[in-house]
Amino acid sequence: MSLILPFTRGSAFFQLRIPLEGVDYLFDWSWNARAGAWFLSLASEDGTPLVGGVKVVSNRPLFARFSYLTGMPPGEIVAADFTRKVSYPGYDQLGTADLPVLYYTEAELEEI
């Protein structure tokens, strides 16, 4: 079963430390009002940048094209739009029951 990642609603910029498969990662979330979109940057536990400024698109693996990079989580992160109506989650949409941010473990991905 995928893991629902915590998300701080009501704040345009925030950082969360989240453990994924035994390793802590720093998630930097930022809302860009001009683009009308959320962006996600990921860093290792010590703050070393792994990926920066990835635009959040619903129902697409956010870091699939970066999986070859050293230090990346072995699974995948997806903003899951259960309504199938949203391409780019709005400011108040991401992190809700209809549009949670999910982490699928490496084992789960192998089963798919």
Identify the pLDDT of residue 29.
Answer: 98
The structure's pTM equals 0.92
Three-class secondary structure of residue 55 per DSSP: strand
Domain ranges of the chain: 3-111
Distance CA 82, CA 36 (A): 20
36-81 pLDDT per residue, tens: 999 999 999 999 999 999 999 999 999 999 989 999 999 999 999 9
Residues 82, 96 contacting (CB under 8 angstroms)? no
Residue 23 has pLDDT above 80, yes or no: yes
71-96 pLDDT per residue, tens: 999 999 999 998 889 899 999 999 99
For residue 39, list its beta bridge partners. 30, 55
Identify the pLDDT of residue 38.
Answer: 97
Distance CA 67, CA 80 (A): 19
